[in-house]
């Protein structure tokens, strides 16, 4: 559809963000990536990426530096040509189209506004090149300024705005032509923590209100967990897991995802049975897994899932000594050395529990690792 024929965004019906979590009405695939590979000389930055993103979804590409997330975003935008594989947007193959022929708006980490243009002209940039008439451009710029809460800033220049405000203008500019896809490349990472938090919420509610399919690159797991409908966790050019924030957090598929998203104790164990492992000589019941008996594996349990007690009041408790206590606002993070072997276990405690038990460095305690939280992973290959 030509941008001129599109309705104004204020007429959009707000959508909910539960799309990815509840697939009761089958949503349409907005973006489909098939066996995408990217080589930089001998180096493979993306290895056979397959991915479907649904209309209205907010998807985050999350992973450590160099994992290929920006390369994947740039391939979607046509700013980087893939070495092989195909990309479809709304069933139309866009694999070889130049960026200007693709239907997206993009926001980069650095605000990338034109410093010599006013805020109004920055926002109007794409509208002018798409042939909107002057009256409509003026209207549209006002709509967008209202949308991002910067009414009255039309005549200002980028340098007169704060970093967060400039990034909101960049967002308005990206949304101006009502693109079918919004691409965000670490849009918050140049901002200070407080502004980042505020803008995170603003972007999320704007995305929900407009229902625009959005892909955001981030290396910040908290950002991904709070903003995304689904997270694509990447490492070394491959997708390790795709899932809702809850799925990724609660059911990581391997030790990499477990360690990268949230905090996770990862303890080396030997598999003893289909639902039991040996931590040193201590037998621990665990969640069912399919790793062979006798193999080395990794037990994953989150700090908030470990039970810390003063007394040895459950069989299978591990004797431990508190070696470090950290105050983290709403809870305390307690690091314990296991007495049986050279391993540390981190436990998150409510302040009231920590005070009741007089938790301090040097205190001897007992740790229980409940079976329902003991995930068993294959040993990491990377
Ligand atoms: N133009 C290029 N030439 C050669 N290698 C490149 C090029 N662009 C990216 N790479 C390499 O490809 C890999 C993936 O880069 P990419 O920028 O996609 O990573 P990323 O996950 O976005 O990391 P970051 O968060 O640090 O930006 C990196 O090892 C990078 O050095």
What are the sequence ranges of the domains in the chain?
Answer: 17-250, 263-378
Q: Which fold has domain 263-378?
A: OB fold (Dihydrolipoamide Acetyltransferase, E2P) (2.40.50)
Residue nearest to atom 30 of ligand 1 (CA): 66
CA distance 276 to 289: 9
In the reported structure, the alpha carbon of residue 46 is separated from the centroid of ligand 1 by a whole-number distance in angstroms of 10
Q: Mean pLDDT across the stretch 264-281?
A: 95
pLDDT band (50, 70, 90) for residue 313: confident
Q: Over the stretch 258-272, which tens digit does the pLDDT of each residue have?
A: 999 999 999 999 999
The predicted structure's pLDDT at residue 340: 87
The predicted structure's pLDDT at residue 191: 84
For residues 268 and 288, the answer to whether their CB atoms sit within 8 Å is no
Q: Could you tell me the two tokens for 133?
A: 């008439």
Query: Please, how many CA atoms are within 13 Å of residue 254, restricted to the half-sphere of its CB?
Result: 13
pLDDT band (50, 70, 90) for residue 65: very high
In the reported structure, the alpha carbon of residue 68 is separated from the centroid of ligand 1 by a whole-number distance in angstroms of 6
CA distance 267 to 269: 6
Residue 205 φ then ψ, to 5°: -75, -30
Q: Over the stretch 24-53, which tens digit does the pLDDT of each residue have?
A: 567 899 999 999 999 999 999 999 999 999
Residue nearest to atom 5 of ligand 1 (CA): 40
Residue nearest to atom 26 of ligand 1 (CA): 65
Query: Per 3-state DSSP, what percentage of the chain is helix, strand, and coil (rounded to 5)?
Result: 30, 30, 40
Q: What percent of the chain has pLDDT over 90?
A: 76
CA distance 208 to 206: 5
Parallel, antiparallel, or unpaired for β 238-243 and 265-273? unpaired
Residue nearest to atom 9 of ligand 1 (CA): 71
Atom of ligand 1 nearest to the CA of 68: 18
Atom of ligand 1 nearest to the CA of 234: 21
Residue nearest to atom 17 of ligand 1 (CA): 70
For residues 182 and 129, the answer to whether their CB atoms sit within 8 Å is no
In the reported structure, the alpha carbon of residue 100 is separated from the centroid of ligand 1 by a whole-number distance in angstroms of 23
pTM above 0.80, yes or no: yes
Give the position of tokens 């704060």.
162
The predicted structure's pLDDT at residue 27: 82
Residue 228 φ then ψ, to 5°: -85, 145
The predicted structure's pLDDT at residue 382: 53
The predicted structure's pLDDT at residue 328: 87
Ligand 1 pocket, CB under 6 A: 40, 43, 45, 63, 65-71, 219
In the reported structure, the alpha carbon of residue 71 is separated from the centroid of ligand 1 by a whole-number distance in angstroms of 6
In the reported structure, the alpha carbon of residue 215 is separated from the centroid of ligand 1 by a whole-number distance in angstroms of 18
Could you check whether 17-250 and 263-378 share the same CATH topology? no
Mean pLDDT of the chain: 90
- Superfamily for domain range 17-250: P-loop containing nucleotide triphosphate hydrolases (3.40.50.300)
DSSP letters of 29-43? EEEEEEEEEEEETTE
Q: Over the stretch 127-139, which tens digit does the pLDDT of each residue have?
A: 988 888 889 999 9
The predicted structure's pLDDT at residue 19: 44
In the reported structure, the alpha carbon of residue 67 is separated from the centroid of ligand 1 by a whole-number distance in angstroms of 7
Cα–Cα distances in angstroms (integers) from residue 182 to residues 25, 58, 102, 213, in the given order: 23, 9, 11, 6
Where does 246-304 show beta strands of DSSP type E?
A: 265-273, 276-279, 282-285, 296-301
ipTM for this prediction? 0.96
Higher pLDDT, 16 or 120: 120
Residue nearest to atom 8 of ligand 1 (CA): 71
- Residue 20 predicted with pLDDT over 50: no
CA distance 225 to 60: 9
Task: Choose which residue among 46, 63, 70 to substitute to test ligand 1 binding: the one with the highest number of ligand atoms within 8 A of its C-beta.
Answer: 70
End-to-end CA distance of the chain: 46
Higher pLDDT, 121 or 194: 121
pLDDT band (50, 70, 90) for residue 116: very high
- Residue 71 predicted with pLDDT over 70: yes
């Amino acid at each position: 559809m030509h941008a001129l024929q599109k309705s104004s965004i204020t007429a959009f019906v707000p959508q909910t963000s539960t799309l990815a979590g509840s697939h009761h009405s089958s949503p349409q695939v907005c973006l489909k990536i098939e066996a995408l590979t990217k080589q930089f000389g001998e180096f493979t930055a993306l290895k056979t990426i397959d991915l479907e993103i649904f209309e209205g979804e907010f998807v985050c590409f999350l992973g450590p530096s160099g994992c290929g997330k920006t390369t994947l975003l740039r391939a979607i935008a046509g700013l980087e040509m893939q070495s092989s594989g195909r990309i479809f947007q709304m069933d139309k193959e866009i694999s070889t189209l130049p960026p200007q022929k693709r239907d997206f708006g993009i926001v980069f980490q650095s605000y990338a506004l034109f410093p010599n243009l006013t805020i109004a002209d920055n926002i109007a940039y794409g509208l002018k090149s798409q042939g909107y008439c002057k009256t409509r451009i003026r209207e549209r710029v006002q709509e967008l300024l209202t949308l991002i809460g910067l009414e009255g800033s039309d005549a200002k220049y980028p340098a007169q705005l704060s970093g967060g405000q400039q990034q909101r203008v960049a967002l308005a500019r990206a949304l101006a032509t009502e693109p079918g896809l919004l691409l965000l490349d670490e849009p918050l990472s140049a901002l200070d923590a407080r502004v980042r938090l505020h803008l995170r919420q603003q972007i999320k509610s704007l995305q929900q209100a407009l229902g625009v399919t959005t892909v955001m690159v981030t290396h910040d797991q908290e950002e991904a967990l709070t903003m995304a409908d689904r997270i694509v966790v990447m490492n070394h050019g491959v997708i390790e897991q795709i899932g809702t924030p809850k799925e990724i957090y609660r059911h990581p598929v391997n030790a990499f995802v477990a360690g990268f998203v949230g905090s996770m104790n990862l303890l080396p164990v030997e598999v003893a049975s289909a639902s039991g492992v040996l931590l040193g000589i201590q037998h621990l019941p665990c969640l069912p897994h399919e790793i062979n008996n006798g193999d080395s594996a990794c037990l994953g349990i989150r700090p908030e899932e470990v039970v810390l007690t003063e007394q040895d009041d459950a069989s299978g408790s591990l004797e431990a000594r508190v070696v470090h206590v950290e105050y983290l606002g709403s809870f305390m993070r307690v690091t314990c050395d296991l007495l049986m072997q050279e391993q540390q276990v981190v436990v998150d405690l409510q302040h009231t529990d920590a005070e009741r038990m007089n938790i301090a460095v040097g205190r001897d305690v007992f740790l229980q690792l409940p079976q329902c939280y003991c995930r068993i992973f294959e040993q990491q290959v990377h």
